[in-house]
Amino acid sequence: MRLKGAAVVLSLLLMSTALSGCGFKDIDKRFFVVAMGIDLPDEGKGFKVTLRLAVPSPKTEPGSAMSQIETIQSQTIAEAVRLAKSHVDKELDFGHCKIFVLGEKLIKQGYNDVLEWVTRRRDVQSVSYFAIGRPDAATIVKVQPPTERYPGNALFLAFGTDGTESSYSMTAYAFDFGRRAEEQGLDPVLPLIRKEKAMENYYITRIALLDKSKMVMLLTPQETQLYNQIANHFGKSTVRSKVDNNNMVIAANSVRSHYDIVSGENGTHTLRLKLRVSGIIEEAPPGVYDQDWGKLEAGFSEQTAAEIKTMLEKIQKAGVDPFGFGLRYRATHAGSPKTWEAWQQIYPELQFDIRVKIHIEGTGLVR
């Protein structure tokens, strides 16, 4: 009896080895998509999807990164991806697709279809990055920087905090993008990746502000840095001012910002924003140590405040809210649809009261 039972179990086990069904797919039988670009098609409707597939190699040396590019045009993204599967010999896996690039033309027309696909598909990671590609996403995805150790590495390192941390770019995660696209009073922000002609490299210096369906405006690099300082308290940044025709730059050590929405008399509202930056002078004319630091600080503060105010008014005019002022207003007022309606009235008329306090910790030299 016992032997019979053991035989049954054994034969079941043996048979089941042949059944290593649908989910089971060895790592070497998968094609990892490392970057995905989505554009408008050159002609007709639908999407043009560009996939950068990593060709794995056991060696990781600079310049040894190999990848394969597939471009497919179809009515929908999902169909395009299925079509791409028939172009390649292994199963596509988006588990390591850390960056999604949306073409500039596409994002100017609307991004909601893309976001739907990304949030629904299960093997797309919520921590993947989003960016806008200029002139289009395919160009960005096709770039193969000569220093890459493995496919996609350069793009992965450009975002997040693993590699370079620039105050002129920012990281937009898929989960955050999805949240901002839904949330009332907080609008999406995406970095813009450019490719210079004849150079196999990326340039990420500007960010784009989006409303709930499309791109609205681009910030200049200078404004991008200000945005990072206010919204993300980005420490590795600089503050510049011009004193007596001399450019002076402070490298920030700590950035703190705080804002309140204060309601004034006769229904006006003021946004009172405080920004505190302390850092060390990185570039200055000689003899700065003996100057009056209080005066220098005041000069810095004044000029920065003016820059911030210009930027905020520009953003206000465009009708987007990347900082989440509206969300703050909703959070501090009664949670009813009326509050949101009230804010939509308030925001275009909002006054800005910017107070910047720059603190010079040192001149960067031991005297």
Partner 1 sequence: MLNRIETIMAQAKDLNTHRIQNNTITIEVAYISSLCDESKVSDFILVPFLKDELEFQKNISLNPNFIVLTDTAKWSETLLRGFVLVQLEGTVYTLDAARVIRNENPQTQVETAIMGSQVSLSEDLIDSINIIRSRYPSPELAIEERTVGNCSRTRVSIIFDSRRVDPSVLTEVRDKIMNLEVDFLQAPGQLERLISSRKRSLFPTMMITERPDRVTSSLQAGKVILLVQGSGFALILPATFYDFMHAVDDEYDSFWMTRFLITLRYIGVILTILLPSLYIAVVSYNPELFRVQLAFSIAGSRSAVPYPSFIEVMIMLFMIESLIEASVRLPKYIGSTATTVGGLILGQAAQQAGLVSSIMIIVTSVVAISNFVVPVNNMSTAIRFLKYPLIIPAIFFGLAGVAVGIFIYIVYLADLRSFGKPYFRFIGPTKRHSGDIGQVDQA
With beta carbons less than 8 A apart as the criterion, state whether 155 and 144 touch: no
Among 1, 13, 18, 334, binds partner 1 (CB under 8 A): 13
Which of 212, 35, 68 has its CA nearest to residue 137?
Answer: 35
Among 73, 74, 153, 339, binds partner 1 (CB under 8 A): 153
Q: Which amino acid is at 184?
A: Q
DSSP 160: T
With beta carbons less than 8 A apart as the criterion, state whether 358 and 239 touch: yes
148 binds partner 1 (CB under 8 A): no
* Binding region for partner 1 (CB under 8 A) out of 24-32, 203-211, 297-305, 355-363: 24-32
Which of 288, 287, 284, 280 has its CA nearest to residue 358?
Answer: 280
DSSP 28: G
* Binding region for partner 1 (CB under 8 A) out of 57-65, 175-183, 295-303, 345-353: 57-65
State in angstroms the smallest separation of the CB of 71 from partner 1. 22
91 binds partner 1 (CB under 8 A): no
28 binds partner 1 (CB under 8 A): yes
61 binds partner 1 (CB under 8 A): no
For residue 326 the two structure tokens come to 């509206």
- How do strand 189-194 and strand 203-210 relate by DSSP bridges? antiparallel
16 binds partner 1 (CB under 8 A): yes
Burial string for 286-301 (b: 16+ CB within 10 Å, else e) reads eebeeeebeebbebbb
State in angstroms the smallest separation of the CB of 84 from partner 1. 18
Q: How far is CA 45 from CA 42, 75, 76, 77, 360, in A?
A: 9, 6, 9, 12, 56
Query: Under rule CB under 8 A, how many of the chain's residues touch partner 1?
Result: 33
25 binds partner 1 (CB under 8 A): yes
12 binds partner 1 (CB under 8 A): no
State in angstroms the smallest separation of the CB of 339 from partner 1. 41
Among 41, 46, 56, 145, binds partner 1 (CB under 8 A): 56
171 binds partner 1 (CB under 8 A): no
Footprint of partner 1 (CB under 8 A): 13, 16-17, 19-21, 23-28, 30, 32, 34, 54, 56-60, 93, 95-96, 98, 123, 125, 149-153, 156
